[in-house]
Amino acid sequence: MKKVLSAVVAVALFAAGGGASCCAECAAEIPAAPLLPGGNPDPTVCRVGDEYYIATSSFSLSPGLPVYRSTDMVNWEIVSHAWRESWPCKTPDDGIWAPTLRHHDGVFYLTVTWHDGFKKAENYLLTARNPAGPWSKPMKIDAKSDIDGSLFFDGEDAWYLSNQQPSKQKWRGHCQIWMQRIDLETGRLFGDRHVLTDGFGEGAAFAEGPHIYKIGGKYLLLHAQGGTAWGHTEIALVSDCVTGPYTHVAGNPVLTAKDRGRNSPLQAFGHADLVQMPDGEWRAVFLGMRMTDEGKKCPLGRETFSCLVDLDGDGLPTRFRRDELIAGDWNDPAATRYSLLDRPGDPVRYVKVRNIAARVDYPDKPFRFCAALAAVAPRRATSSVSQTSRSPPACAKRFRLMANGHSK
């Protein structure tokens, strides 16, 4: 019987040498490596007791919405795929975008956008008592064509956040972050819709990926901005009332890599979510890219990174310790932790990676975000992902796709 594995996890498995693992003695120190390497964009995180859970976008891959579990924020395992439905996908950019994972009153909630080639977007809500499943069938939320939905629980009130393009756009990419109450039983939005922000700075483009947190009696709003490539940033705002008005914190953007220049080996930091550790410290998860060829290529696509977040003068976690990541030598071929090559003791000898949507060495499309397909050829090795072919080799029938353990 063949094992059919999710491409999202396949690349993560081999890019990190079998997973983002760490020895017991250093488990408390979360490494500066990607937390979930290879094709794990738009991360969302929550903690329940001593366990952490992350979900990421899966786009056109099926099953979709991988849910990861950890007890130390270092070692992660997939426990389920929340989205088991089939859907038509015309391109690899279609499908499942930007989930938000939350836990409230014993129930896990996942909001997600299903997108059809930048032409139509639908938003859905899934629930489970156990993140390992079973997950409910997706229930449609009446949020029209808005994207990047999020949930926020404030006492007995459940709020839905998303972005929208105003009817009269003031500039290219003009988007607004808004919130409205939601009936979690039906997916119906009701009450007044409150517009919270148009983004940071004049001409702010593509405000998206919003999350709200209540900390010390204040409401902290995070959202991404600038598009999920070189200009990607994370913006923070604060308010005394959940519906605003929100004001920008000092030091925006609170997270970005664009100031490092386009030759930086790390790019596109943004789309962040926060989680509080048992000791009270805050940590963020967010997407980023490891670049090659002087910032022109990103063979593993958008990955999940993490860093500590310090409190600002108002006691809010807005000071992202980005420099923990910047210091790494991300493209050192001797760094076996990130190697796609064979290493002694690996359960599988050879890994071949090919890009589903566009070859990773297209110089004119360095930010073509697509998942990669990792496969095992028993007698065939590939020394570099930039040398991969458009289609599987003749031995494709012998391929075993690795990682999530889903059998077919």
Contacts of 25 (CB under 8 A, 6+ apart): none
User: Please, is 15 exposed, middle or buried when counting C-beta atoms within 10 Å of its C-beta (0-12, 13-18, 19+)?
Assistant: buried
Q: Give the C-alpha separation, 54 to 279, whole Å.
A: 20
H or E segment to which residue 21 belongs: none
Q: Virtual CA dihedral for 120, 118, 84, 285, nearest 10 degrees? A: -120
CB 408 within 8 A of CB 5: no
Nearest Cα to Cα of residue 103 among 45, 189, 182: 45
Q: Give the C-alpha separation, 343 to 405, whole Å.
A: 22
- Residue numbers annotated as active site: 42, 208
3-state secondary structure of 397: helix
Structure tokens at 158: 């459940």
CB 129 within 8 A of CB 74: no
Q: Give the C-alpha separation, 125 to 358, whole Å.
A: 31
Cross-strand bridge partners of residue 54 = 45, 68
The HSE-up count of residue 388 (CA atoms within 13 Å, CB side) is: 25
Q: Give the C-alpha separation, 130 to 193, whole Å.
A: 32
Q: What is the DSSP string of 88-114?
A: --SSTT-EEEEEEEEEETTEEEEEEEE
User: Please, is 103 exposed, middle or buried when counting C-beta atoms within 10 Å of its C-beta (0-12, 13-18, 19+)?
Assistant: middle
3-state secondary structure of 12: helix
Q: Virtual CA dihedral for 256, 260, 266, 271, nearest 10 degrees? A: 10
Structure tokens at 348: 């599988």
Alpha-carbon Rg of the chain, whole angstroms? 20
CB 8 within 8 A of CB 56: yes
